[in-house]
Copies of this chain bind each other. A is one copy, B any other.
Amino acid sequence: MSEVQEQDRAAGGGPARPTMRDALVEAAFELFSERGFEQTTIDDIVSLAGVGRRSFFRYFPSKEAVVFPDHDGCLADMTAFLAAADPAGDPVEQVCDAARLVLRMYAGNPAFSVGRYRLTKQVPTLRTHELSVVWRYERTLAGHLRTRYAARSDGALRADVIAAAVVAAHNYALRSWLRSGGEGDVGAAVDEALKLVVDTWGGGAEGGSGAASQDDEVVVMVARRGTPMWRVVQGVEAALEG
């Protein structure tokens, strides 16, 4: 029922992880699904997987971590993606694309993702652990935005708020999809949710990169028709502050 695939990292050819990790994840999910998280001990998992108890903690730092086996790699992907992002591009669009990386991981394994969702929904310990996972993503996004907004006086605050908004929008669409059991187009749902964030915080979603590219003296401000005046002023201020 629960199948785990190890996707290759973008960072070079990590060839064929030892199957023991996958065996542990599979065994854990089988037991968690049929018996519950708290009712399953580490000994149950390792005996089903046919490995030693000590080996479990070589691959996972805690019992909760086995439920989120792919997020460490995804966080590394996100970090690499943002590090390679165009300095002249719209940073809000960039962090949205970074969030879509996480979405792709969920969408790549719908059955696994839905099973994990049902589990985390009803186990407080797992919900807490998921929060810390999401927190790392959010801090990564915020860190990227902070570097791009370094010139602004309110750059750090703005970065934190936008990162939180992006994560909230992403999770809103993702959770709706997970709650539905994996039906429908998640990508479109997330795009629509993120559109709300980009439209309000981004540099002008449709048409152009509203915020000025920061490599020369020419400042171009693009705003949609009907944009409130205060937002226009904000954009101009942002461009001039740089």
Contacts and interface: CB of A to CB of B under 8 A. Distances in A.
Interface of A: 127-129, 131-132, 135, 154, 156-158, 160-161, 163-165, 167-169, 171-173, 193, 196-197, 199-201, 230
Contacts of A199: 230
A144 to B, nearest CB: 15
Contacts of A157: 169, 172-173, 193, 196
What 4 A-B pairs have minimum CB-CB distances, sorted nearest first?
A164-B168, A164-B164, A131-B131, A128-B132
B172 A161 contact: yes
Contacts of A173: 157
A189 to B, nearest CB: 10
A167 B165 CA distance: 10
B161 A165 contact: yes
Contacts of A160: 168-169, 171-172
Contacts of A135: 131
> How many identical subunits does the complex contain?
2
A18 B16 CA distance: 60
A171 B142 CA distance: 13
Contacts of A154: 196
Contacts of A156: 172
A54 to B, nearest CB: 21
Nearest to A171: B160
A200 B156 CA distance: 17
Nearest to A189: B157
Contact of A128 (B128, B163, B196, B197): B128
B128 A161 contact: no
A207 B230 CA distance: 22
Contacts of A161: 165, 168-169, 172, 196-197
A113 B164 CA distance: 23
Contacts of A132: 127-128, 131
A75 to B, nearest CB: 15
Contacts of A197: 161
Given A161-B165, A164-B165, A199-B230, 13 more contacts: A128-B128, A128-B132, A154-B196, A156-B172, A157-B169, A158-B196, A160-B168, A160-B171, A161-B168, A161-B169, A164-B164, A165-B165, A165-B168
